Amino acid sequence: MRKIGARKLVTAMIAVGILVLASACSSSSPNASTAGNTEISADTAGTVRVLMEGVPDTDIVKGLLAEFNAKYPKIDVQIEPIAYDQIRDKIVASFQATDPTYDMAIIDNPWMGDFAKAGFLKPLDDLIASTANYDYNDFSAPLRAIGEVDGKTYGVPFYNYGLGLIYRTDLLSAAGIAEPTTLDALAAAAKSLNSAARAGIAMQPQRGYKAFEEWGNYLFAAGGSIYGSDGLVHLNTPEAKKALNTYIAMYKSSAPKNSLNWAFDEALRSVSSDKSAMMVSYNWMLPTLNKKDGPAGALAGKFKLATMPGGKQVLGSWDWAIPANSKVSDAAWAFISWITSKEGEAARVSAGGAPARTGVLTDPAVSNTGGGAEYYATVGKILSNAEPLCKGANCDEMINAVGTELNAAIAGLKSVDSALAAAEEQANKIQSE
């Protein structure tokens, strides 16, 4: 047998020692870039403050904190619920502070591009890749795309607010109308269901975000798109004109009278109080409307969710993110990875939360306790073919500019052609700055 030199033996022993040491370190460090086999240490500690919108999904997350703390007893997650309109200004101030007020953030999809490019958020790719059993690809692809900016991931999907058509099954059935699968069929159905006592469809043409968010679904139903293959906004198209003309016709013939400034709250109240037969709204409104002690009262159970005619719809989402100036990013990631893990997602969705992972949609344990198998099947279809209103930077401004032009056309202050031409021009100018 050939003798192994002493020097070589020592070198080999040192190498083995380094490997053992590296392995030991990586198993206790959540930030090590190993191939997804890192368990976040239960000793991870810190106070994690987060501002969240005062919606049911936030209440559900709060309800799961005890379970989280059973695994991570040293992490104190402090959730501050607040109205939507106040969130962004507060977190932007925190992002720029030397001593941040918030250690974790939820980011609405129009803000993602601006915040990522401004350096407000920490890239999460390494954390995602290193966390054991995370299976990031289980999240719906359109939702994953929202959190990705310039090739890096800055947000992990929290919950989706993809839109769909919510309608009264009893009214459609009584009128002999099938679930609309084309834009023209939707217009016809709304007109048929319209009466003095009840509008055919509650619409949300309020200037700005709401008008664009609702009309975007009509655009997709007409076979159109917001962006072209060149990455620019293209709204001065035949499909967009058809969509806007149809929208305006439906507003005049089938929507509640004098509802030009209507937004989400008005449409919900109209539908839940039997004053409108349908609405285009967030998919998770269905379980809310069908809840026995919910806002729809005696109408509970009579609502159904469908994809928009044509199968494509507008997508919105909230993402979990870690501010770049967070001083407890380990603890923040421990919480984010826990709440968005397959188990955390199943617990959240079972409690009524809006799904973000695709696996949970076909999990019988979830569908039996949550919104029902049929609802989750529809949500799966919605998430598989959905797109946000805006990609890239300056989204708030772009959405507002387009929504202003749309509202002007709906109000009759501008022609459809000039409104769409102006919307396209302004959107591209804003996004090129």
Partner 1 sequence: MSFRARMMIPLLVVFVAAIGYPLISSFVLSLTNYRITRRDETKFVAFAQYQDVLQDHAYWSALAVTGTFIVFAVVLELSIGLMIALALQNQRRFRDFSRSFLLSPMFVTPIAVGLMFRFLLNQQLGAIPAILEKVGITYDFFGPGRAIYSMVVIDVWQWTPFMVLLLLAGLESLSKQPFEAAKVDGASPFYTFRRVTVPMLAPILTVAVLIRSLDASKVFEYVYAITRGGPGTETQTIQYFTYQTGIQFFRLGKASAMSYLLLIMVISLVILLFKRIEKARLVS
381, two tokens: 């279809």
Min dist CB 374 to partner 1, Å, is 30
Binding flag, residue 89, partner 1 (CB under 8 A): yes
Binding flag, residue 194, partner 1 (CB under 8 A): no
- Restricting to residues 362-421, which ones interact with partner 1 according to CB under 8 A? 393-394, 396-397, 400, 404, 407-408, 410-414
**Of 109 and 276, CB closest to partner 1:** 276
Binding flag, residue 199, partner 1 (CB under 8 A): yes
Q: How far apart are CA 133 and CA 37, in angstroms?
A: 7
- Cβ–Cβ under 8 Å, residues 84 and 343: no
- Cβ–Cβ under 8 Å, residues 122 and 329: yes
Element (H, E) at 125: helix 125-130
- Cβ–Cβ under 8 Å, residues 270 and 202: yes
Min dist CB 85 to partner 1, Å, is 8
Closest C-alpha among 49, 22, 166, 157 to residue 103: 49
Binding flag, residue 90, partner 1 (CB under 8 A): no
Find the binder of partner 1 among 68, 72, 102, 115 (CB under 8 A).
Answer: 115
Find the binder of partner 1 among 246, 254, 270, 378 (CB under 8 A).
Answer: 270
Find the binder of partner 1 among 103, 108, 266, 424 (CB under 8 A).
Answer: 266
Min dist CB 273 to partner 1, Å, is 7
Closest C-alpha among 323, 328, 319 to residue 122: 323
Min dist CB 201 to partner 1, Å, is 13
CA 206, 208, 213, 215 dihedral sign is positive
Among the residue ranges 44-52, 118-126, 168-176, 374-382, the one whose residues contact partner 1 (CB under 8 A): 118-126
Buried b (16+ CB within 10 A) or exposed e, 40-51: beeebebebbbb
Min dist CB 275 to partner 1, Å, is 5
Draw the binding track, 230-259, toward partner 1 (x: CB under 8 A; -: no contact): --------------------------xxxx
Strand partners, 306: 165
Amino acid in the structure at residue 271 = V
With a CB cutoff of 8 Å and minimum separation 6, the contacts of 276 are 198, 199, 200, 201, 202, 255, 256, 267, 270
Among the residue ranges 117-125, 229-237, 240-248, 319-327, the one whose residues contact partner 1 (CB under 8 A): 117-125
Find the binder of partner 1 among 32, 65, 118, 421 (CB under 8 A).
Answer: 118
* Chain positions contacting partner 1, by CB under 8 A: 89, 92, 96, 114-115, 117-120, 199, 206-208, 210, 256-261, 266, 269-270, 273, 275-276, 393-394, 396-397, 400, 404, 407-408, 410-414
